[in-house]
Amino acid sequence: MAADRFPELREHSVAPPALRPFPGIEQAERQISALCAAGNAAPGVFALLGNAMVRQGRYVDALEAYRNAADLDPSDALAHWACAEIAHVLADEETSRTYRARALRLRRVYPDPMPVGGRTPVLLLLRDAPYSTNTPLELLLDRSRVAIHKYYLEGEDRPVLPDYALAFTAFGGAQGAARAASLAATFLTGAPASINDPSLLVRTARESFEATLAGIDAVRAPRTVVLDRTAIESIALPALVRPIDTHAGEGFAYLATRDDLRAHLERNSAERYHVSNFVEYRSGDGFYRKFRAIFVDGIAYPYHLAISPHWMVHYQSSPMRESATFRAQELAFLGSPASLVPSWDRVMPQIAKAIELDYFGIDATVLPDGALFVFEADAAMLVHDEDPRDVFAYKRPFVARIREALHRSIARRTQRETP
């Protein structure tokens, strides 16, 4: 049976982007598909098929296979959870919410699906939300060195937990995180070791972030307020508006006129919004630059630099793949961040001290006047090593530096090696 030869196919609780192909996966899929086609396969066989398909990037097919597993065995929390996470990747949020609710009714603790062995067991404290809303550590940590257990906090019961050496508050400071932060704070009073004090997450909340960084010379942050739909109709324009607690540009818009505002409200049904001023940050060459830095135990590590002709800069939509010039600039920044941010050595320790979290990230830029403008900080920023290696291989050593820093942080707190 393929699952005996490839036990990784039972990793149904792992975030889909962290599931990678392995030698022989096509043969394993053919074998499992034949069993499913025979018409008498056990529900778990369909789950194995779904896992094999996820590992090959076939998310639509994988969702169908996992749905078959969940329909055949409604008590299979892992199948429901896989459906929820895959539907989230496919931007089918209604389906994702439905399956997530079913999974969490069945269980709230998802141990690492592989034997712990000599790995350091880490318990992630999570919101009842998709992997991208939480801190997606499976995309960064080396799972051959740490076992990742997951505990979704926001239920009423207190389930039995697997043994763990360290608890990691693995979500950010969004407005919707207040209950989870309170539960995490209570939980950590009995934890053997921990990373990220949940009481500090409020310092990264969009509406309080400007105050968090106030007093750091030549560092600025957006002035952001929370408004409901009625109040937003009378805001001064132009302004940047986004539904509360959204990320990755979802519902994020530059509104210059009343017509823009009315159209935005028609497109978005949210009742509450973050509203902030727009700061022009275009460089002298006409392009916008935004970099991400990840902080581990007070030290800032450059992660990426995105360059775009558009004011709303996202790495995946920016022309980094197409432009060798931009990639050369990114590599220069990664190797020497002060080449882009002359104040790096002075301001990064001050930002770390102001926020105080053990692990978090910032997105920022350098303004035309030389000031550092920090768009946001978040403990749940995406860090991964999944960029195409034909073009972005130069980034891998810098992602590895962040990974090793976090492994050292875990080892120091647990007094255990993470080889």
Residue 45, in any domain of the structure? yes
| pLDDT at residue 1 greater than cutoff 70 | no
**pLDDT per position as a tens digit, 320-354:** 999 999 999 999 999 999 999 999 999 999 999 99
DSSP label at residue 223: -
CATH number assigned to the domain comprising residue 269 = 3.30.1490.20
**pLDDT per position as a tens digit, 227-286:** 888 888 778 888 888 888 776 667 788 888 888 888 888 888 788 888 988 889 999 999
Amino acid at residue number 18: A
DSSP secondary structure of 120-174: EEEEEEE-SS-TTTB--GGGTS-TTTEEEEEEE--SSS-------SEEEE-B---
Residue 418 is predicted with a pLDDT of 56
Residue 260 is predicted with a pLDDT of 87
Task: Look at residues 196, 215, 236 and tell me which one is the last residue of a structural domain.
Answer: 196
Domain residue limits at 247: 223-276
Q: Is residue 167 located within the same domain as residue 259?
A: no
The CA dihedral of 341, 342, 346, 347, to the nearest 10 degrees, is -30
Rounded to an integer, the average pLDDT of 12-37 is 94
Residue 174 is predicted with a pLDDT of 82
Residue 355 is predicted with a pLDDT of 98
Residue 248 is predicted with a pLDDT of 64
Residue 243 is predicted with a pLDDT of 86
CATH number assigned to the domain comprising residue 56 = 1.25.40.10
Residue 2 is predicted with a pLDDT of 63
| pLDDT at residue 419 greater than cutoff 70 | no
Q: Is residue 128 located within the same domain as residue 69?
A: no
Residue 3 is predicted with a pLDDT of 64
- Strands 120-126 and 146-152, by their bridges, are parallel
Task: Look at residues 196, 231, 252 and tell me which one is the last residue of a structural domain.
Answer: 196
Rounded to an integer, the average pLDDT of 26-54 is 92
Q: What is the pTM of this model?
A: 0.93
Residue 311, in any domain of the structure? no
Residue 329, in any domain of the structure? no
Q: Is residue 119 located within the same domain as residue 99?
A: no
Residue 62, in any domain of the structure? yes
Residue 413, in any domain of the structure? no
**pLDDT per position as a tens digit, 142-183:** 999 999 999 999 998 889 999 999 999 999 988 789 999 999
**pLDDT per position as a tens digit, 119-129:** 999 999 999 99
| Mean pLDDT score across all residues of the chain | 93
Residue 293 is predicted with a pLDDT of 98
- How far apart, in Å, do the first and last CA atoms of the chain sit? 32
Amino acid at residue number 414: T
Residue 236 is predicted with a pLDDT of 81
Rounded percentage of the chain residues whose pLDDT exceeds 90? 76
Amino acid at residue number 165: A
Rounded to an integer, the average pLDDT of 390-414 is 97
Rounded to an integer, the average pLDDT of 102-108 is 97
Rounded percentage of the chain residues whose pLDDT exceeds 70? 98
Rounded to an integer, the average pLDDT of 79-97 is 97
Q: Which residue has the higher pLDDT, 419 or 213?
A: 213
Task: Look at residues 196, 231, 261 and tell me which one is the last residue of a structural domain.
Answer: 196
| pLDDT at residue 370 greater than cutoff 60 | yes
- Strands 372-378 and 219-220, by their bridges, are parallel
Residue 61, in any domain of the structure? yes
Q: Is residue 146 located within the same domain as residue 173?
A: yes
- Strands 166-169 and 120-126, by their bridges, are parallel
Q: Is residue 163 located within the same domain as residue 190?
A: yes
The edge-to-edge listing of strands for the beta sheet with 288-296 is: 219-220, 372-378, 359-366, 288-296, 299-308
Least confident piece of the model among 27-41, 91-105, 248-262, 306-320: 248-262
Number of structural domains found in the chain: 3
Residue 20, in any domain of the structure? yes
* Overall residue count recorded for the chain in this entry: 419
User: pLDDT band at 57, cuts 50/70/90?
Assistant: very high
